[in-house]
Structure 1
Amino acid sequence: MTETFQRPVGELLRGWREQRRLSQLDLANRVEVSTRHVSFVETGRSQPSREMVLRLAEHLDVPLRDRNQLLLAGGYAPIYTESSLHSPAMLAIRSTLRRLLEAHQPYPALVVDRWWNIVEFNSGIKIFTEDVDEQLLKAPINALRLTLHPDGLARRITNLAEVHAAALTSLQRQVVSTADPELQDLYDELRSYSTADQPLHPGQTEVVLPFNLDYQGHRLSLLTMIATFGTPLDVTVSELMIESFYPADEQTAELLRELA
């Protein structure tokens, strides 16, 4: 939401309420105030207190980055820090991430920010970076672009149509949740990578979509999990996602151990 702090706080809150597809009555019931009060806040007839801005933002599930913008729009100072991962204050976070990544070896794992740029990774991701266009490996490396770009990992993904569709669905949910124009641009870019010639045909016995790829003549089948920090109070921390890959079968597990 670029420069949204220049818009009135009530207008911004109304935008988030509509984004969440809630009526004024729905929101009023959640926050335990009158519908009239919500209406007055949204139209600017009532100036919400700092506490009310935060209560409304919490019940609207507004990301921390945008809660700071709401506070600024309401005339209040932001309360959530946005620290660099390399700052002394983030030492414990960096140490935790590195322990997680190292403990996950020989399986691939990486940490991405809100825009899916890779900020940390373990040696296991070499199976993803081999034989991709060098332009895709220039910092910041975007994990989704690296995966789905025609000159990237996509050439070795054997169920590309399914992976492409699943990634778009997940990213679309993130776009709706954050209303972030940069994520919308990424979504539009990824959507332009056509997989029309590859029909969707998930296996009848699959309960989770596997990530299947060729690596040096081997077939690897992986499952992926996304984790985040609980109860973050810093914008940067709240936007970090740890993506861990696990072998979907014993053959893949054995191959990854041998490759390590």
Structure 2
Amino acid sequence: MRIYMGTGGYANDEWLAPSEIDTDHLSQGWLYPAGTKKPDFLSVYAQHFNAVELNSSFYGIPGLKAFEGMARRSAGRTRFAVKLHQVFTHARKPETADFDRMLQSPEPLREAGLMGPYLAQFPYSFHRTAENRKYLLDLAERFAGRELAVELRHASWDKPEVREGMGEFGLIWVSPDYPPVGGMPEPRVYATSEVGYLRLHGRNKSTWWEGGSAAERHDYLYNRAEIDEWADKIAEVAGELEELYIFFENTTKGHALKNIPMLREALESRGLGLDRYPND
């Protein structure tokens, strides 16, 4: 099983060190040395992590040139999971032009061998109804031939028959880690295809529903025992997957930067090493 691990997004100003940093900067919650310009963030990021989940595409689908720049700045080191624009998952009224742009714009990543799955991140309000099941089926058909990971946050979807159906249509079940607030899928790794996808959101119960921003909801640092728990769950499915994408969404205050080395070490101790570069 090849493992690709990174964070939800990379353009985080909080990760910019206020002064010169030493070699152990990740444990301090810094990634970018003092003075690093935003256009250079990805180049630095790619020196540390072999995957990234692209957040910007949720708000506006980048064009070909933007994706060309990403491929160039990552220097073949990092795979990109591209989040679908919100018109697909929240408004749920995509037009033909939206599909065309979403499918065609990342072509430079495909040509460079850096394209990971698309990610459809549905909101909690997207329950398992007949209408929503039909919409998901239509989406699967439009993205046929492309890897599409689907995060379904409402517990009504968390059923074996749903995952079985997703497998039949080539969809990747997103295995999530949420705070224990109820009403959402259980924290387990499931394989519905040869590719797995894990999103670690943190376990901040107090801010998940009441938080005023995503930063507040994701303000959580996993401890060693929680990381070991996930390493064990990942090891259990290692024989079922060819690839596994793991993304830490707890990017607030650099928590994800501290947790990734912890999980990497825990996986290596279980005989599961990360692919250093996607194209190796």
Give me the TM-score of the superposition, normalised by structure 2. Answer: 0.26
Higher relative contact order (CA 8 A, sep 6+): 2
Please say which structure displays the higher CA radius of gyration. 1
Give me the TM-score of the superposition, normalised by structure 1. Answer: 0.27
